[in-house]
Amino acid sequence: MNGSWLIRGRDGRLSAYAPRDEAVWCWAQRTPGGSWIAPRAVGGDQRLHPVLAVGQGTDGYAHLVAWRPTGQQEAGLVHTTHFRPHLAALDWNRLGHPNKAGAQTGVPAVAVDAEGRAHVFVPNAGGGVSMRGQKERGGWGPWRDLKGREVEGQLAAVTRLSGRVELYATSPAGILRWTQAGPGHIPALDDEPLKASARPGTLLALATSEEHVTLFFTDESDTLCTWRPGAEPIALLPCAGPGPVSAIRFTLDGVDCTLLAQRSRSGRVAFAAYPTEQESAGAWWTESGPQLPPDTQVSLSKDHQGDLVAATLQPAKGAKGELLMTRRKAEPGLALEAWRPIVLD
């Protein structure tokens, strides 16, 4: 999965999304802070490959993107919008293929601008990146080749606090960045890549202030690094484990902080927090919860009261893969409650 798959809807209820059994399934709270309804497939009966990108606009709507099989060794991208946890998602809308036809070209990414328009990014067969975006008055624009060379691993899409969309990718030449010159503009590739050695599949972008997006990545020494354009990369702390990192901004004891979560080498979830954009303050990992299988997904969000919540989704066959959750205790510091399976009605 690409993107934060645990999200808070505009009504305060949490939802979790995951590909299972040739479909995308949604777990949703019945009431804000309450129990959860049994998972169900979203977007109709469309058969899907086990790949999912999730994005969310300021309106709280979830945008889901996946690959569907279109023939022998061929696939096409599809998109749906999920407005509320208890409402059925729109049917999957076919976006086609960035190269008109062919096999899957990589894991897609999706970001939603200030006007609620989804931008879908995906590696193309030429080694670059292609994008298709929603129009201001409905429908979709054409596939556009955003250039780039020898793109590797998973893309990282993000929406700045200004509402403009950015994209990051790894390549042998370094980290590539695409930015919008203004609302509705086509993201353009920076003239020069960041000369940093980032492992493919480790990028995560987070809007950390009105001026900045912070990019997190793992270098060749297993160090988690951060980078903001206009500055040099910063080595933050050793990685807790080999898996992807999740991140969220939240207020901890009156301080704007960034919280990181990663499945550690021991199999537990490790957390680290530091004042946002102040990497020099230092950060260190603290492990929490039970040991989890490899490839367990970790995601962070806020509940209906703005309190921090974390969830893990274990790889499992069938839609009822075990979803565990914890939340921050109502006390100073970053103490967490015990991890518990969600209660299904």
pLDDT tens digits for range 144-156: 999 999 999 999 9
**What is the C-alpha radius of gyration for the chain, rounded to an integer number of angstroms?**
19
With contact defined as beta carbons under 8 Å apart, do 268 and 287 qualify? yes
Q: How many CB atoms lie within 10 A of CB 65?
A: 28
H/E run at residue 165: strand 165-171
Which strand ranges, in their side-by-side order, compose the sheet holding 188-189? 152-159, 165-171, 174-179, 188-189
Which of 133-137, 180-184, 198-202, 313-317 is the most confident on average? Answer: 198-202
Quote the tokens at residue 256.
């704007």
With contact defined as beta carbons under 8 Å apart, do 228 and 213 qualify? yes
What pLDDT was estimated at residue 146?
Answer: 98
pLDDT score of 243 more than 90: no
Q: Per-residue confidence at 116, pLDDT binned at 50, 70, 90?
A: very high
With contact defined as beta carbons under 8 Å apart, do 129 and 146 qualify? yes
Tell me the percentage of the chain whose pLDDT exceeds 70: 98
What's the mean pLDDT in 179-205? 94
What pLDDT was estimated at residue 89?
Answer: 79
pLDDT tens digits for range 133-142: 999 888 999 9
CA distance 41 to 44: 7
Listing DSSP states for 263-297 in one string gives E-TTSSEEEEEEETT-GGG----EEES----TT-E
Residues facing 80 on adjacent strands: 64
CA distance 334 to 327: 10
With contact defined as beta carbons under 8 Å apart, do 118 and 125 qualify? no
pLDDT tens digits for range 257-305: 999 999 999 999 999 999 999 999 999 999 999 999 988 999 999 999 9
Q: How many CB atoms lie within 10 A of CB 208?
A: 20
Quote the tokens at residue 163.
């509402």
What pLDDT was estimated at residue 326?
Answer: 96
Quote the tokens at residue 8.
């808070």
Q: Which has the higher per-residue pLDDT, 274 or 88?
A: 274
pLDDT score of 319 more than 60: no
What SS3 state is found at 154? Answer: strand
pLDDT tens digits for range 16-63: 999 988 999 999 999 999 999 988 899 888 999 999 999 999 999 999
Q: Per-residue confidence at 244, pLDDT binned at 50, 70, 90?
A: confident
What pLDDT was estimated at residue 340?
Answer: 93
pLDDT score of 320 more than 60: no
